[in-house]
């Protein structure tokens, strides 16, 4: 018994030394002391256990001597890691160094500093930004007729183009100094979101000029001349930009582009320029563009610029009317109406000062793109996907309350509650993460890891919400036509999933595999040290990082184990966490587990991490859940800790932690090395799996809340466009919902009478009139029921067409591929 107690005390000592990152000499002293007590007071002799303790104490003691540590540990490890750590290519290094590291590093640390997240501003707009959101943005949304855009014209109408140009929508990110609106990232995010909730096609023409492309690149890297000439023209919409990076052979692997520029002299040998040949596809706004931002590989075979032959990826601005530029016809992306198409050129000569930033920026294209991508990816797609999710909630909660089957609104049925509560959770969590991330960008951060995570998570959650909304609407969502308000979102889902880094790649390669390098406190520094051509200097730098890394790993392993066996009770919650302290503790515990697992995964897999994508994908999911849950807790605080929101937080937290746990379990169950798998299981799941999904009762309460508290529904769908026009299909939902709620009691009386057989509800019978005549409902209730009946009939109606109307309106379809060679042949 005493021996068991002693062993438990030793375990507690080890946990304490590990968690507090004790130096090696303290470990040695502690082990020696333990061995002595064991030998003298507990066991009577050293025995095998005592011998083992002495051995460890001596080993730690020796390692505490710097010269010995260097010779027996650091030097061999340094040699080993040189061979096993992931190699970082030039383009990867530029991607890694491009953005900033922010709260992601806290999650990788295992001990997040919550105040760093809590100190980020909640949603703040300047009066001018707020006026723009409430004025021109609202007006624009009101002008849009989705069916006209998406089907009839298959075109964003000229008056919408005119409106967005006139009001400066195309220059939101261009500074005021250069004629743009100079809006913050938060404002851009909210404006984009509002338009997206109304029309994914229209938001695309606003979003593209305000994300990675000529405007941003000129603003950041352009020459003075490019800034003064182009920026005011772009801001006023006198130039329509597109950005051409993708080609038939270079999609996700954009850096392998075959588009080429050769440094050459003009006809008279005086002007230095570039002879370009390229073939691009999928280019949004391409068919309408007047200014093409083109990415290509630049070579200088005669070394005219003195920078060597292979200069690297370069970006230039080419007027669409420039001789040789071919703007192709249009693609038809998932049936959407926004302009998208190929462009190409062969031996097109451009002056060198068309390179963005001029001659000094040749070869800097990839770095420029990566730097802008880190911020842009955090805004455009997360904003539109979040707005899409909120719109799904707004429409589906109304429709589910209006549409009745089996005498009940479908939203009140348990089976429907399930997908509806998923939409509610997604809308709450997406908006929480969107707002925090946009605020980070507003204050100057360029979060590369978080932006990748946001891109794939918000669009995936939107995809699920759109599917859930479809299921709840049944056939009403499937039959397309002017009264269908869901199809536009359904058509746009695959676009959001694919652009700006297709989701599979973003999840499995970018978020964790690059994220671990970027956000891990020591890993990237160790790789840089290992790749240092000066081996001696490299080893020296490596020693410091590696020693700290070991202490960090031991702290996370012991910390994770301790918090797992104590159910997270001893994790320190931040000050004033109040009723959220429990979730903060669980999040802290989860973060320790993630940090431990991430660290061990990278150490064991090394360079193989890039190919073990099922492992890295699950770790990306786990990291995402931590980030989203942290944002959910922040949103709750920013929104004023409303008691009505506690269940929403609980729903998101319980499900988020469960998904987090399943992701970790997936990593461990499939980890390729058996001893590592055992160790992971002992540390992370010593007492089994602690988390369960949110209980059915919680989902039920949350759905009830949204259906019965209009202010909660409004808050959950804030910042999207809400029509009040009964002649608009979404406005009709709002108007009808109000009447349905008002008529609830009268409806119950009517239903009771129908069930009792007092009334019959068939075509050709005026059952409401009969109900009034029989005194089942009062006169005014009867009138209200008539109104509800008429409105509901319109809400549930679907469109039908004359067959001639449905004939494809694409005209004659041409050849389906383009290449420089075929262009030359024409």
Ligand X SMILES: Cc1cc2nc3c(=O)[nH]c(=O)nc-3n(C[C@H](O)[C@H](O)[C@H](O)COP(=O)(O)OP(=O)(O)OC[C@H]3O[C@@H](n4cnc5c(N)ncnc54)[C@H](O)[C@@H]3O)c2cc1C
- Tokens 């992931």 identify what position? 86
> Could you say whether residue 95 binds ligand X (CB under 6 A)?
no
> Could you say whether residue 282 binds ligand X (CB under 6 A)?
yes
For the chain, the C-alpha Rg in angstroms (whole number) is: 31
Residues 381-400 that bind ligand X (CB under 6 A): none
With CB under 6 A as the contact rule, the residue among 458, 508, 511, 624 that binds ligand X is 508
Which of the stretches 98-106, 398-406, 443-451, 500-508 binds ligand X when contact is defined by CB under 6 A? 500-508
Nearer to ligand X, 364 or 503 (CB): 503
> Could you say whether residue 819 binds ligand X (CB under 6 A)?
no
The single-letter DSSP state of residue 251 is: S
Segment (H or E) for 311: strand 310-319
Question: Roughly what angle, to the nearest 10 degrees, separates helices 646-669 and 696-708?
Answer: 140
For the CB of residue 818, give the shortest distance to ligand X in the complex, in Å: 14
- Number of amino acids touching ligand X (CB under 6 A): 20
Q: From the candidates 106, 129, 500, 543, give the one annotated as an active-site residue.
A: 500
DSSP H helices, 566-612, are 581-605
Residue whose Cβ sits closest to ligand X: 251
> Could you say whether residue 91 binds ligand X (CB under 6 A)?
no
Nearer to ligand X, 17 or 242 (CB): 242
Nearer to ligand X, 284 or 314 (CB): 284
Q: Which residues contact 152 (CB under 8 A, 6 or more apart)?
A: none
Q: Which residues contact 224 (CB under 8 A, 6 or more apart)?
A: none
377: left (phi over 0), alpha (psi -120 to 50) or beta: alpha
Residues 598-657 that bind ligand X (CB under 6 A): 613
Q: Pull the structure tokens for residue 47.
A: 């025995």
Closest alpha carbon to 739 in 816, 700, 691, 791: 791
With CB under 6 A as the contact rule, the residue among 108, 114, 163, 243 that binds ligand X is 243
Which of the stretches 8-16, 501-509, 553-561, 817-825 binds ligand X when contact is defined by CB under 6 A? 501-509
Which of the stretches 76-84, 216-224, 281-289, 408-416 binds ligand X when contact is defined by CB under 6 A? 281-289
> Could you say whether residue 157 binds ligand X (CB under 6 A)?
no
Task: Collapse the DSSP code of 571 into the 3-class scheme (helix H, G, I; strand E, B; otherwise coil) and give the result.
Answer: coil
Question: Roughly what angle, to the nearest 10 degrees, separates helices 613-638 and 646-669?
Answer: 160
With CB under 6 A as the contact rule, the residue among 257, 385, 509, 667 that binds ligand X is 509
For the CB of residue 250, give the shortest distance to ligand X in the complex, in Å: 8
The rounded Cα 187 to chain-centroid distance in angstroms is 18
Nearer to ligand X, 90 or 134 (CB): 90
* Cα 434 from Cα 440, distance rounded (Å): 10
With CB under 6 A as the contact rule, the residue among 61, 232, 251, 731 that binds ligand X is 251
Nearer to ligand X, 243 or 671 (CB): 243
Nearer to ligand X, 325 or 499 (CB): 499
Beta bridge partners of 279: 344
> Could you say whether residue 666 binds ligand X (CB under 6 A)?
no
* Cα 759 from Cα 750, distance rounded (Å): 8
Binding mask 326-345 for ligand X (x = CB under 6 A): -------x------x-----
Active site residue 500: yes
* Cα 587 from Cα 40, distance rounded (Å): 43
Binding mask 185-224 for ligand X (x = CB under 6 A): ----------------------------------------
With CB under 6 A as the contact rule, the residue among 505, 603, 676, 742 that binds ligand X is 505
Nearer to ligand X, 221 or 338 (CB): 338
Nearer to ligand X, 318 or 557 (CB): 318
> Could you say whether residue 504 binds ligand X (CB under 6 A)?
yes
Quick check: 733 and 477 in contact, CB under 8 A?
A: no
**DSSP secondary structure of 710-730:** HHHHHHHTTTS-----TTSHH
Please provide residue 546's backbone torsions phi and psi, each rounded to the nearest 5 degrees. Answer: -65, -40
Closest alpha carbon to 116 in 560, 428, 439: 439
With CB under 6 A as the contact rule, the residue among 94, 284, 484, 487 that binds ligand X is 284
Within the chain, what is the greatest distance between any pair of CA atoms? Answer: 101
Q: Which positions touch ligand X (CB under 6 A)?
A: 243-246, 251-252, 282-284, 333, 340, 495, 498-499, 502, 504-505, 508-509, 613
Q: Annotated catalytic sites, by residue?
A: 500
């Amino acid at each position: 018994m005493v021996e068991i107690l002693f062993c438990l005390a030793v375990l507690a000592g080890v946990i304490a030394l590990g968690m507090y990152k004790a130096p090696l000499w303290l470990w040695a002293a502690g082990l020696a002391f333990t061995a002595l007590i064991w030998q003298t007071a507990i066991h009577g002799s050293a025995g095998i256990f005592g011998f083992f303790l002495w051995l460890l104490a001596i080993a730690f003691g020796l390692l505490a001597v710097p010269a010995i540590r260097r010779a027996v540990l650091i030097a061999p490890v340094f040699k080993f890691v040189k061979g096993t750590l992931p190699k970082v290519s030039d383009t990867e290094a530029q991607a890694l160094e491009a953005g900033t590291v922010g709260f992601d590093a806290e999650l990788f640390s295992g001990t997040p500093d919550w105040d760093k997240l809590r100190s980020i501003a909640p949603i703040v707009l300047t009066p001018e930004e707020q006026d723009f959101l409430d004025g021109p943005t609202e007006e624009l949304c009101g002008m849009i007729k989705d069916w006209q855009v998406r089907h009839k014209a298959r075109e964003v109408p000229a008056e919408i183009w005119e409106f967005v140009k006139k009001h400066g929508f195309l220059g939101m990110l261009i500074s005021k100094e250069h004629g743009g609106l100079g809006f913050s990232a938060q404002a851009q995010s909210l404006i984009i979101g509002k338009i997206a909730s109304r029309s994914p096609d229209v938001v695309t023409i606003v979003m593209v000029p305000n994300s990675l492309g000529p405007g941003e690149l000129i603003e950041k890297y352009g020459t003075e001349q490019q800034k003064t000439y182009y920026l005011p023209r772009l801001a006023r919409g006198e130039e329509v930009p597109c950005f051409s990076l993708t080609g038939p052979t270079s999609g996700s692997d954009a850096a392998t582009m075959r588009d080429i520029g050769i440094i050459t002299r003009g006809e008279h040998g005086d002007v230095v320029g570039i002879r370009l040949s390229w073939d691009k596809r999928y280019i949004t706004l391409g068919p309408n563009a007047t200014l093409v931002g083109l990415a290509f590989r630049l070579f200088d075979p005669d070394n005219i610029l003195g920078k060597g032959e292979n200069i690297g990826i370069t970006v230039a601005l080419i007027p669409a009317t420039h001789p040789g530029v071919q703007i192709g016809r249009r693609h038809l992306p998932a049936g959407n109406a926004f302009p998208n198409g190929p462009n190409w050129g062969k031996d097109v000569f451009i002056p060198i000062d068309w390179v963005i930033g001029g001659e000094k920026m040749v070869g800097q294209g990839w770095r420029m793109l990566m730097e802008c991508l880190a911020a842009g990816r955090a805004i455009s797609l997360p904003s539109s996907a979040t707005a899409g999710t909120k719109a799904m909630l707004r429409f589906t909660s109304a429709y589910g309350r209006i549409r009745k089957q089996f005498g009940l609104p479908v939203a009140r049925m348990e089976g429907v509650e399930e997908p509806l509560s998923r939409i509610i959770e997604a809308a709450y969590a997406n908006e929480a993460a969107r707002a925090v991330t946009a605020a980070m960008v507003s204050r100057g951060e360029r979060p590369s890891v978080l932006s990748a995570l946001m891109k794939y998570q918000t669009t995936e959650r939107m995809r699920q919400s759109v599917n859930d909304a479809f299921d709840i609407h049944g056939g009403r969502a499937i039959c397309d036509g002017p009264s269908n308000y869901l199809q536009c979102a359904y058509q746009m889902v695959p676009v959001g999933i694919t652009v700006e880094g297709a989701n599979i790649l973003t999840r499995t390669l970018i978020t964790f595999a690059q994220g671990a390098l970027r956000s891990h406190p020591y890993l990237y520094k160790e790789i840089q040290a290992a790749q240092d051509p000066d081996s001696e200097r490299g080893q020296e730098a490596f020693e410091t990082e590696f020693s700290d890394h070991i202490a960090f790993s031991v702290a996370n392993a012991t910390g994770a184990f301790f918090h797992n066996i104590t159910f997270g009770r001893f994790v320190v919650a931040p000050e004033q966490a109040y009723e959220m302290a429990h979730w903060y503790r669980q999040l802290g515990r989860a973060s320790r587990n993630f940090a431990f697992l991430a660290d061990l995964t990278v150490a064991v897999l090394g360079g193989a991490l890039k190919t073990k994508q099922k492992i890295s994908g699950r770790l990306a999911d786990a990291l995402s859940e931590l980030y989203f849950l942290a944002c959910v807790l922040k949103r709750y605080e920013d929104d004023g800790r409303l008691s009505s929101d506690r269940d929403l937080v609980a729903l998101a937290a319980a499900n988020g932690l469960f998904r987090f746990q399943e992701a970790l379990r997936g990593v461990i169950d499939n980890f390729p090395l058996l001893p590592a798998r055992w160790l992971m299981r002992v540390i992370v799941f010593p007492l089994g799996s602690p988390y369960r999904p949110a209980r059915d009762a919680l989902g039920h309460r949350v759905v009830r809340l949204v259906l019965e508290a209009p202010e909660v529904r409004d808050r959950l769908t804030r910042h999207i466009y809400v029509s009040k026009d009964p002649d608009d299909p979404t406005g009709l939902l709002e108007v009808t919902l109000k009447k349905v709620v008002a008529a609830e009691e009268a409806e119950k009386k009517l239903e009771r009478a129908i069930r009792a057989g007092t009334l019959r509800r068939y075509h050709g019978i005026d059952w409401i009139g009969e109900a009034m005549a029989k005194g089942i409902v009062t006169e005014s209730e009867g009138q209200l029921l008539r109104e509800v009946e008429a409105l509901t009939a319109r809400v549930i109606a679907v469109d039908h067409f004359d067959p001639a109307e449905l004939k494809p309106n694409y005209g004659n379809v041409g050849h389906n591929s383009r290449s420089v060679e075929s262009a030359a042949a024409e």
